[in-house]
Structure formats: C-alpha cells, structure tokens
Amino acid sequence: MTVDRLNYYRIAESPYTLDRIDLPESHIVNGREFPAAFKLNLQGETYEKFKVDQLLKNFSQSGTFTKLVEDHGAVVLRDLVENSDETKAGEIADFIATIESNRGHVEFLQNGTLIPRDQIAQNLYAANRQAAPESRILQHNEYSRFKKYPITLIFTILDYTAKGGETPLVHGAELYNKAIRELPVFVEKLSKHGLAFRKESWPRVPTKDNKAIWNHEVTFGRNIKPGDSLEIQKQKAEQIAREYISDNIDWTPEDDLVIESYAKALKKFKGEPLIFSSIPAFFQNYNPENPNITFGNNENFDYEELKTFVDITNKLEYKHNWKSGDIVFIHNYQVSHGKLPYSDGKRNTEVGMWDEASPNKILDFVDYVL
C-alpha cells in the first residue's frame, strides 16, 4: 500500500495546482511519509473559488486524494481560501463537501459526544470550545469505543493566532510497531480481550462541568421533537444509543443516561496491524481503585504498563503547527488525535466527520488477534 511521491496535482480545466510541501516533524511510517501536505498555487492567476472547486473535484474523483489519505494517514491542504478568518467557514465547508462527496463519502452523523458541539457551517461543528486553553487532550481515535465511527475526521482552524495549540497526531501502525516490542503482554491482552469502558454518563439537565446532556443533537437527541414527553425522548435517545454506541444501557432515577461499551483495540487496515483506541484519553481521569477503562474481560490494567503505553503514544506524536485556513483530513481508522495547550490568541477548531457510503467498508478494516 504505497504511493509514488506526488509533487503536484493539476488538471487541464484549471490553471491552479496543488503543490507538495514539507511539514516540520513529518516522518516515515511503514515506508510512507506521515502526514502529507499540499498548498494551493495560483500560478500567478487571480483567485476564483469555482476554479479551486473544479481542481478539488477532479482531485477527489480521480481517486488520487483517497489513495493519499489511505497511504499517508493524514493529508493537509493549505491556502484553499484567501485571507482565512472565521467568516470563511462556509467556503471551507463547501470545499470539504466537494472532496468528500466526490469520493463516495457521506456526512457521518455525530452521536454520543461528551461535550456540546454547535454547528458552524453545513458540515462543520465547533470542537473543544469548552476545553480550557491550558488543557491537554490525549490521543484517541474518534468514537473508537463505539459501534460506529467515521472513516474520515476533518479539522480546520480558520483564524489561528495563538502560541502553541498544535494538534498532535499518532499513526496507529507506528504505535503498534513500538508497543508490541516494548509491551508485548499488554498488547497481547488488548488483542485477546479488547477494552471495556465503564459507565459513561450523560445528564438529563446541564451540569456545572458543562457536560453534554443526552437530548442534545450530537449526543442522543437527534430525533427528539419539541413536545415529546420525557418517556418518548428517552425511547428515541435509547434507540440511537443502541445503534451507534452499545446495548449496555441504563437510566438513573434522575433520568441520566449511563452506558458501558466494549471495543477491540487491535485492527488491521489493508493487512497492516495497528492500534485503534482511546486509551490515553481515558488515562487522564484514570483511577486504579475505580477504573473507567479495563481490559474487555474486566481485568484491570497494570498501572505501570498503562502509563508506559501512554508515554509511548505521546512520544510518537506528530504535532501539526497550524496556519489559518489549514484543512487536515485524518484517516480515523489509522490515526489518532489530541490537543496541546495554547495561550495568547485565537484557536477555534472546527470538526467534520465523513464515512464511506458503501456498506463494504469493513472489509478493509478488521479485528486483529495475535
């Protein structure tokens, strides 16, 4: 699964090109650069949005873009809009839709989020607005603990003036290669038992920590209508929870929703083994006396092994240094993500999620047992 280095992309219908650029900290994973990046080159012409759209449509329809994302794990597109700021959300969303729809993808419906996400544009939602600038979010593959997860995760920052705040990415194949050497017993247990996530909860009413309530659109309230009784709301929420998240569902006397989920953490994508999980993110609030995550057979982690796994993960991070208007397309099966602290400026991240329309997508992404 390799691709010759594509140094630029052009079509006869447009004078513009997409030129390959080098990214600091990019590196080689299984013989391929991670990630890859391209910058729009106007070739001295005036910027016209429809010509950019034309170029991106062909880039996608030809299969070139899909191959790049699959081979490199993530692809950065730079300077697709001029003078990027937060008024350009609609233009960025249009370009994302052009790329994703023309490679057979449909928008992935977000369900089960732990914090509220408000829609910014047609396929973009606010991400991490509640997270304090000084906070760090450790690595996780989006929705990896759920039944359904997107194949493509897209981040953009329209106006980036902050110090710090890079987006760290880890390639799951590189993580597997490192962990199987340094923590073979830990990885073998992941392979054999998978993971269990203990009693995640979504409150009925807002709480001080601003956790997402279960009837929000991107938690479990997508089908709830004004005037629905509480029981009808709960039925609709539970239907989505069972379809997208888990069958292990309970309601508290206060009508809070509680879910336990199980997931396999070792996968193969197109024959290559990788780790697909949210272990580091759950480690941030891990309590050995009352763990929020265990092996799938309910066996607790050895704390030192768990800490070592998280340390290994952190050391493998590629840290994306943003330029305003960057769009980062992440192959969610292969690559996890997080957030680094920032200060003194703007860093509002927007997120979009897309999935293959074909039901056969699972054929390329399967559980892996050692």
Distance of CA 118 to the CA centre of its chain: 17
Greatest alpha-carbon pair distance for the chain in Å reads: 66
| 38-87 confidence digits (pLDDT tens) | 999 999 999 999 999 999 999 999 999 999 999 999 999 999 999 999 99
Instruction: Give percent of the chain above pLDDT 70.
Output: 97
Pairing of strands 105-107, 119-121: unpaired
pLDDT in tens, 129-182: 778 899 999 999 999 999 999 999 999 999 999 999 999 999 999 999 999 999
Q: Is the peptide bond before 35 cis (omega within 30 degrees of 0)?
A: yes
pLDDT per residue over 17-34, tens digit each?
999 999 999 999 999 999
Q: What is the mean pLDDT of the chain?
A: 94
Q: Where are the domains of the chain?
A: 8-170+318-367
Specify the pLDDT at position 3.
Answer: 45
Residues 263-281 have a mean pLDDT of 97
Q: Indicate the CATH number for domain 8-170+318-367.
A: 3.60.130.10
Residue 18 burial (10 A CB sphere; 0-12, 13-18, 19+): buried
**Three-state secondary structure of the chain:** CCCCCCCEEECCCCCCEEEECCCCCCEEECCEEECEEEEEECCCCCCCHHHHHHHHHHHHHCCHHHHHHHHHCEEEEECCCCCCCHHHHHHHHHHHHHHHHCCCEEECCCCCCCCCCCEEECCEEEECCCCCCCCCEEEECCCCCCCCCCCEEEEEEEEECCEECCEEEEEHHHHHHHHHHHCHHHHHHHHHHCEEEEEEEECCCCCCCCCCCCCCCCCCCCCCCCCCCHHHHHHHHHHHHHHHCCCEEEECCCCCEEEEEEECCEEEECCEEEECCCHHHHHCCCCCCCCCEEECCCCCCCHHHHHHHHHHHHHCCEEECCCCCCEEEEECCCEEEEECCEECCCEEEEEEEEEECCHHHHHHEEECCC
Q: Tell me the pLDDT tens digit for each residue of 225-234.
A: 999 999 999 9
Q: What is the pLDDT of residue 116?
A: 79
**What pLDDT is recorded for position 2?**
42
pLDDT at 246: 96
The amino acid at residue 8 is Y
Per-residue pLDDT tens over the stretch 321-351: 999 999 999 999 999 999 999 999 999 999 9
d(CA 96, CA 259): 33
Q: What is the pLDDT of residues 182-208, one digit of tens each?
A: 999 999 999 999 999 988 999 999 887
Pairing mode, strands 36-41 and 74-78? parallel
State how far the Cα of 172 lies from the Cα of 190, in Å rounded to an integer.
Answer: 14
